[in-house]
Every structure is written in C-alpha cells, then in structure tokens.
C-alpha cells in the first residue's frame, strides 16, 4: 500500500470514529477506541490505533491510562510529551467537571453526593496519601476544598492546629475531612480513628463543626459519619469537657 493510500485510510478511519461519537457518544466504543479517539487530538496524522491498544494493554483500562503518570505514558512507543500532556489534560478536565459540580455557583444546595464524587475522582487514584479539608458555610453549602498535608504510600501526618487554623482563615462554619488510601482499601486504620477523634475533640473548643471524615479509594469511600463514629466522638468530647468542668 502506498504512503498516500495509508494516509487516506487513516483519515477515513478517524472520520468514522468522529461520526460514531457524534451519533452516539462513546457508547459501543472499545476501550482502545476511546484512547485512540483522544490521541487523534495530539496526532493530526498517522495511525493511533496501535499506540492506543498498547496503552490499554499496559495500563489495563481507560481509567488506568488516564491515571498513569507522564513518565509511565511516555514509556509507550509513540507517546511523547505532547501526547502525554493531552492525556493528562483529559484527566484534569474530569477533575474540573466534578469540582464545578460540587463547588460551582450552580451546585445544588447540600449536594453531598457531588462532593463525594469529586473527592473520589480527584484523590482516589493518587499514589501518596493526601489529607484535604472541605469548607462549608452556615447553610452547610460546600464552598471549597484545600489540600493540607501529603505523605507516603501508607500515611500522612496531620496537625490539628494547622487544620483549624485553615478552617478559621476560610471562615468555615463546618468542615469535612478527607484523605485517600492508595491501596484502594477504604477501611479506617486505628490511626485514622485516633486522628478523627482528636480533630473532633479539638473542634469542640472552636466555632467549627466536624461533619464527617471521608476515606476515598479509586472505587469506593468510607464515611465516619455514616458509620456513627463522628457522633460517637462528639459524645466523647462532650463527656471529656464535662469532666474537666467538674474538676475545675
């Protein structure tokens, strides 16, 4: 096949992909076709199918490709820095979408599901533990989220003083703590329970309410509030304060 014939065949294949997407979105696409379609944005010409299939083989899924680092992506033959940047841009765009859904001016009042979705999407696939805090106003409407601490594969160090310093600086009336487990297992460790207990106790001395502590993984999340633990820690904090009052 001549070079011209190959170029024409590639152009025809790209056009067919675009037509399929225009008619039905990504429904019916194979995983490699999703990546192939994305790669055509970075490769004006040429066959992207082989690269896309290799990427899916290497990382296992579309999500795996999007979550891969620049270095990992450029380990695939045919993926350079521009192509890797295109893939990472697509991943960042997903985060942006979910962030606006949770915190944008048109976000539904009290839409906790949207907040959890954003936290899971933006933090669930990280390879290091990160501790962040969601700020809420007097109507319990999420007003923003901030990364406070970042740690290792298995832990992050959390300083209650810095946590509430940030909460007060944002004039938050209530907060939700969130951190990720890179292992994917969202069950809380004893350290997770202890730091949550300490933070709830510290909050009892301030005009800030702890609503929840959420642990996120790539596919699931764990809510301390849903399991009754935040309420239990509040009760313990109230008992502790009462015992101190009686001793004073």
Domains and CATH numbers, the chain: 3-94 (1.10.150.20), 109-247 (3.40.140.10)
| Mean pLDDT, residues 113-140 | 90
| Local structure of 196: helix, strand or coil | helix
130 pLDDT above the threshold of 70:
yes
Q: What is the CA radius of gyration of the chain?
A: 23
pTM of the model: 0.76
pLDDT-based confidence at residue 154 (cuts at 50, 70, 90): low
| Enclosing H/E stretch for 34 | helix 31-39
Out of 37-41, 217-221, 244-248, least confident range: 244-248
CB within 8 Å of 130: residues ≥ 6 apart: 123, 147, 149, 150, 151, 156, 179, 180
Q: Which of 123, 126, 68, 72 is nearest to 95 (CA)?
A: 123
246 pLDDT above the threshold of 90:
no
Q: Which of 43, 20, 23 is nearest to 34 (CA)?
A: 20
* Residue 108: predicted pLDDT: 55
Sheet holding 221-223, edge to edge: 142-150, 130-136, 174-180, 209-216, 221-223
* Residue 44: predicted pLDDT: 76
How much is the mean pLDDT over the chain?
Answer: 88
Q: Residues in the chain, how many?
A: 248
Q: Are 173 and 137 in contact (CB under 8 A)?
A: yes
d(CA 243, CA 91): 51
* Residue 47: predicted pLDDT: 84
**What dihedral angle (degrees, nearest 10) is formed by the CA atoms of 38, 217, 120, 178?**
-150
pLDDT-based confidence at residue 4 (cuts at 50, 70, 90): very low
As a whole-number percent, the residues of the chain with pLDDT over 90 amount to 67
Query: Distance between alpha carbon 72 and the CA centroid of its chain, in Å?
Result: 19
d(CA 210, CA 200): 6
* Residue 243: predicted pLDDT: 85
Angle at CA of residue 85, ends 128 and 56, nearest 5°? 75
Q: What are the tokens at 46?
A: 């040429």
Q: Are 197 and 161 in contact (CB under 8 A)?
A: no
């Amino acid at each position: 096949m001549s070079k011209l014939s190959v170029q024409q065949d590639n152009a025809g294949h790209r056009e067919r992909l675009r037509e399929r997407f225009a008619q039905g979105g990504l429904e019916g696409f194979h995983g490699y076709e999703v990546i192939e379609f994305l790669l055509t944005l970075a490769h004006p010409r040429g066959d992207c199918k082989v690269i896309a299939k290799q990427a899916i083989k290497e990382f296992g899924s579309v999500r795996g490709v999007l979550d891969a680092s620049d270095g990992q992506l450029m380990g695939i033959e045919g993926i350079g820095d521009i192509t890797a940047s295109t893939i990472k841009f697509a991943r960042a765009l997903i985060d942006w979408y979910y962030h606006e859904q949770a915190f944008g001016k048109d976000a539904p009042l009290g839409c906790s599901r949207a907040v959890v979705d954003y936290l899971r999407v933006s933090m669930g696939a990280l390879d290091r533990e990160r501790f962040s805090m969601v700020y809420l106003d007097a109507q319990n409407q999420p007003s923003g989220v901030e990364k406070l601490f970042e740690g290792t594969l298995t832990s992050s160090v959390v300083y209650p003083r810095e946590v509430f310093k940030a909460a007060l600086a944002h004039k938050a009336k209530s907060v939700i703590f969130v951190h990720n487990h890179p292992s994917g297992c969202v069950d809380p460790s004893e350290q997770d329970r202890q730091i949550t207990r300490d933070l709830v106790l510290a909050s009892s001395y301030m005009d800030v309410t702890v609503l929840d502590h959420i642990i996120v993984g790539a596919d699931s999340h764990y809510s301390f509030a849903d399991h009754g633990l935040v309420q239990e820690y509040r009760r313990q904090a109230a008992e502790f304060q009462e015992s101190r009052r009686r001793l004073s």
